[in-house]
Amino acid sequence: MNRILALTAAVALAALTTLSPAAHAAEVRGAGSTFAYPIIWKWAEGFRERTGTLVGYQSVGSSAGVNRIKDGVVDFGATDKPLKPEDLEKYGLGQFPIVFGGVVPVFNVEGVGPGQLRFTGALLADIYLGKVATWSDPAIRALNPDIKLPDAKIVVVHRSDGSGTTFNWVSYLAKASPEWKQQVGEGSAVAWPVGTGARGNEGVATEVKRVKNAIGYVEYTYVVQAKLAYGLVQNRAGRFIAPSAASFQAAASSFDWTAAKDFFVIINDSAAEDAYPIAATTFAIMYKEPRVPANSRAAFEFWRFALGEGEKYASELGYVPLPPALVQQVKDYWAKTFKGGV
């Protein structure tokens, strides 16, 4: 079984765990981001080994995760699209960052390997608009004159579900392409001009790996686990940047988190010279006044583990853990925002 199939099986197992009767005094239930699923699953595994407390997590996409915490059926939601402070206030919620990563263009072109193709944001937008429809298009060749590309139709793959990964991808495309901003816009789900949909980062990764001449976008950990070919993306400084922990960190560190109410920060399209341009943050969302206090207390124990000892797991999987100053800012936010269990 390859790593993507293993992830899919683990998602199913996590879902069953989430829906089963609690076997402990507290069982934390979460749902949302597929972007952060690999690290949340790893944190949950380490936390269970350390404390015996179960953390069940459903990898259902950011939009579904937000809806489930709004409906009160989980103890936390996870989303790569932060909620605006006024929406958090409306629903009695708080949010905080838990990890950084990046959204990466991936492709399946015979003879072309990881890091060999260059893209600009405008080119990616034109591919997803259907304006650049073949791999031999002059716009692709101009950026990649030394790469042998087939005269074949580009098979565009996108998310079919409401997705924080999509939000960060199209947010970047809207900044890079006025035409994209006007015709398609931004959001967790958009009316895609071309392409075929797949569910979750897992689904997009599997589809791109399966279909010859496909292009898609996934969180970086899925690139590594599925051994996908990925492209370099030009940042605002004009450099073509590879996805990596260092380039995600450069993006995250270039924004002022202390000035942002409820951590409402979107870290893509950073002006930093070494920043990967489609960097992203996953946020946890919880009720200010918990529906199940015991579960809320256990959830905060879980987040303390994740943002402390769990940092090593994030680094091992290709994510970027929060820097110490931001971890302290998050803990201060917990103390003033959440009641009963922090």
Does 259 fall in a domain? yes
Q: Which of the four pLDDT bands, split at 50, 70 and 90, describes residue 341? A: low
The first and second tokens of residue 118, run together, are 């260059």
Number of domains in the chain: 2
Give the Cα-Cα-Cα angle 337, 340, 342 (nearest 5 degrees): 65
Of the three residues 263, 290, 325, the one that is the final residue of a domain is 263
Are residues 310 and 187 located together in one domain of the fold? no
Domain-located, residue 269: no
pLDDT at 340: 64
Q: Do 122 and 70 reside in the same domain of the chain?
A: no
Range of the domain at 57: 3-99+282-337
Asked if 217 and 316 sit in the same domain, the reply is no
> Cα separation of 226 and 219, whole Å?
11
Determine the pLDDT at residue 17. 38
Burial class (CB in 10 A: 0-12, 13-18, 19+), 145: exposed
145 shares a domain with 125: yes
Within a domain: 317: yes
Same domain, 91 and 108: no
Question: Mean pLDDT across the stretch 287-294?
Answer: 93
pLDDT at 173 over 60: yes
Could you tell me the CA-to-CA distances from 72 to 30, 49, 199 in Å, in that order?
11, 27, 24
Query: What distances in angstroms separate CA 128 from CA 123, 165, 171, 190, 191, one per listed residue?
Result: 9, 15, 13, 12, 11
Give the residue-averaged pLDDT of 305-320.
96
Query: Percent of the chain, pLDDT > 70?
Result: 92
- Tell me, yes or no, whether 252 and 303 share the same domain: no
Tell whether the torsion through CA atoms of 63, 69, 74 and 78 is positive or negative. positive
Q: Within this chain, do residues 238 and 110 fall inside the same structural domain, yes or no?
A: yes
Domain presence at residue 165: yes
Q: What is the pLDDT of residues 198-214, one digit of tens each?
A: 999 999 999 999 999 99
* CATH number, domain with residue 119: 3.40.190.10
Overall average pLDDT of the 155-165 stretch? 96
Task: Please identify, among 212, 235, 263, the residue that sits at the C-terminal boundary of a domain.
Answer: 263
Residue 188 confidence class, pLDDT cut points 50, 70, 90: very high
Residue 130 shares a structural domain with residue 151: yes
Q: Which tens digit of pLDDT belongs to each residue from 7-40?
A: 443 443 344 333 333 334 578 999 999 999 999 9
Q: Is residue 273 part of a domain?
A: no
The reply to whether 249 falls in a domain is yes
Confidence bin at 96 (pLDDT 50/70/90): very high
The rounded percent of the chain whose pLDDT value lies above 90 is 90
Three-point CA angle 316, 318, 322, nearest 5°: 90
Instruction: Check whether residue 126 and residue 166 sit in a common domain.
Output: yes
Using N-to-C axis directions, what is the helix angle for 37-51 and 3-19, rounded to 10°? 60
- 111 & 74 share domain: no
For the full predicted model, state whether its pTM sits above 0.85: yes
User: Has residue 94 been placed in a domain?
Assistant: yes
Residues 112 and 182 in one domain: yes
Domain-embedded: residue 271: no
- Mean pLDDT within 32-60: 97
pLDDT given at position 25? 52
Average pLDDT, rounded, for the chain: 92
The CA–CA distances, whole Å, from 215 to 104, 134, 171, 247, 269 equal 10, 11, 18, 22, 21
Q: Are residues 38 and 166 in the same domain?
A: no
